[in-house]
Amino acid sequence: MRLWGFSALAALSALACLVGRANADLKGVFAHYMVGSMGSSDEAVKDVQDAKAMGLDAFALNVQDVSSGWSTSAIQMLFDAAATNDFKLFFSFDMAVLDQPSTFLPLFRQYQSNPAYYYHDNRPFVSTFDGGAKSFGASSPNAGWQSQFKDALASSGINPFFVPDFDDYGGATYDDAFFSNYPVVDGVFSWEAAWPQESEGIANVSSAKDQVAIQASHATGKVYMMPLSSLQFKHIDGGQNWYRRGELNLPQRIGQVLEVQPDFVEIITWNDSGESHYIGNCWPEAIAGAPAIQAYSNGFDHTAWQAVLAPFINAYKNGAKSISAVTPFGEFAGAFWYRTLLASASCSGDSLGRPDGAENAQDLINIAVLLPANTSGVTMNVYSGGNLVATLPTTAGLNIAAVDIKTGSQKVDLVDSAGSIMGSGSSTVDVAADTSGVCNFNYQVIHIA
């Protein structure tokens, strides 16, 4: 019987009040959310509801501005939306932009008591982007964070659970030396481990740094938050024009999360259209002042990745250790994604030219398909440039595949053992060999439905 009577519910909520936030689970899954100007509270509500529907626990709100009206009103709309939809939020202070903790302490004090603020171990969760090299006038970054952040809050009885991304601290990994030099942290988040570096060439993402970080963090009783992302493509100006491999990065990283078994996972990102790794909506006014970003993100919807991520989140929370256990909610789920330009494109009409790292791109249709435990005889039929180019077998769980892409239209069909099409997805934008316009290495993500 899975029905709850009224009294059981009442007892549960009484218990919830008593326990408060003390027993928040590990295995929270979050998405990094760029706070920018927000046109209306409807957008906040839609983002929160979409995120909750795919099984996310919270948004990590990237805050770069603690006082301008566009920022504080977006934050308030998001907290209102989260509170009414039983969703959570925590701050990820962007220390590449903010000077010092005293800048953001008032905002944090204000919201840490909000019912929608995310707590772990009875403590309000706080993360950062960078900040591992800033000392704020103290003798070391650790001393600076201790005095200006933790001690400054302790006087008001606030004890944040601090899981920063300190990738700028100067070391190659979060090893034992890091944890002995940074006792101020309660755990770490390793932003850069989400993709291979450009300098690695045509390499797949590695979990070597995650393995070091989880061992060293657990050895000191701390937590490890692992990043999960799709790609990086930024094409804004001469200093911000790069490609970090997308290809199969996302599903390969899903497999690594299940092997590493981190305490928390943060998806990079919900809505950073500037770096092309969004999985949620990008609202028009957020990038209204950024025509360069519009030029490579408008019409490049990534929400189909949610169809793959939602069953993954469920599997991770239920203890799955490998991709074979990532099964769909129904008969199948899936997406494929591709770049609309071949890697050899000259992009001679684009003043920014080809992105750094373009030579690491591969001309592939990348596919992730989820099938149930009792699946049998299903094939993935891949069409590129109008022709059937591959018929691939499948197995239970997450199937990861890539097939050489040709110019023109793209399609993937899922065909059952009787020869019937169970699901299908078709490209909305053709692949071209070159362009006189924007040198766009962003991905088209197509839902197989």
Ligand X SMILES: *[C@@H]1O[C@H](CO)[C@@H](O)[C@H](O)[C@H]1NC(C)=O
Please report, as ranges, the residues that interact with ligand X according to CB under 6 A: 34-38, 43, 74, 202-204, 248, 271-274, 282-283, 286-287, 372, 374
Q: Do β-strands 333-339 and 364-371 pair in parallel, antiparallel, or remain unpaired?
A: antiparallel
Task: Using the minimum distance from each CB to ligand X, give the nearer residue, 78 or 347.
Answer: 78
Whole-angstrom Cα distance, residue 76 to residue 74?
5
- In the complex, the smallest distance separating the C-beta of residue 45 from ligand X, rounded to whole angstroms, is 11
- In the complex, the smallest distance separating the C-beta of residue 247 from ligand X, rounded to whole angstroms, is 8
> One-letter amino acid identity for 25?
D
Torsional class of 397: left (φ above 0), alpha (ψ -120 to 50), beta (otherwise)? left
Task: Using the minimum distance from each CB to ligand X, give the nearer residue, 13 or 40.
Answer: 40
- In the complex, the smallest distance separating the C-beta of residue 416 from ligand X, rounded to whole angstroms, is 8
Nearest to 316 by CA among 46, 54, 47: 54
Whole-angstrom Cα distance, residue 226 to residue 263?
8
In contact, 346 and 437? CB cutoff 8 Å: no
Task: Using the minimum distance from each CB to ligand X, give the nearer residue, 20 or 393.
Answer: 393
Please calculate the CA angle 431-432-434 and round it to the nearest 5 degrees.
Answer: 150
Task: Using the minimum distance from each CB to ligand X, give the nearer residue, 16 or 203.
Answer: 203
**What does residue 387 show for φ and ψ, rounded to 5 degrees?**
-115, 150
Whole-angstrom Cα distance, residue 170 to residue 178?
10
Task: Using the minimum distance from each CB to ligand X, give the nearer residue, 151 or 285.
Answer: 285
**What does residue 189 show for φ and ψ, rounded to 5 degrees?**
-125, 130
Strands (DSSP E) contained in 107-231 are 119-120, 123-129, 161-162, 187-189, 223-229
Alpha helix positions (H), 129-190: 141-145, 152-154, 176-181
- In the complex, the smallest distance separating the C-beta of residue 266 from ligand X, rounded to whole angstroms, is 16
Whole-angstrom Cα distance, residue 248 to residue 364?
9
Whole-angstrom Cα distance, residue 58 to residue 52?
8
- In the complex, the smallest distance separating the C-beta of residue 362 from ligand X, rounded to whole angstroms, is 9
Task: Using the minimum distance from each CB to ligand X, give the nearer residue, 84 or 122.
Answer: 84
Task: Using the minimum distance from each CB to ligand X, give the nearer residue, 223 or 396.
Answer: 396
In contact, 328 and 307? CB cutoff 8 Å: no
> One-letter amino acid identity for 408?
G
Whole-angstrom Cα distance, residue 274 to residue 185?
29
Nearest to 337 by CA among 415, 282, 294, 278: 278
- In the complex, the smallest distance separating the C-beta of residue 308 from ligand X, rounded to whole angstroms, is 16
Task: Using the minimum distance from each CB to ligand X, give the nearer residue, 184 or 396.
Answer: 396
Task: Using the minimum distance from each CB to ligand X, give the nearer residue, 59 or 119.
Answer: 59
CB neighbours of 77 closer than 8 A, spacing ≥ 6? Answer: 38, 40, 41, 43, 44
- In the complex, the smallest distance separating the C-beta of residue 281 from ligand X, rounded to whole angstroms, is 7
What spatial distance separates the first Cα and last Cα of the chain, rounded to whole Å? 33
Task: Using the minimum distance from each CB to ligand X, give the nearer residue, 74 or 361.
Answer: 74
Q: Which residue is nearest to ligand X (CB)?
A: 36
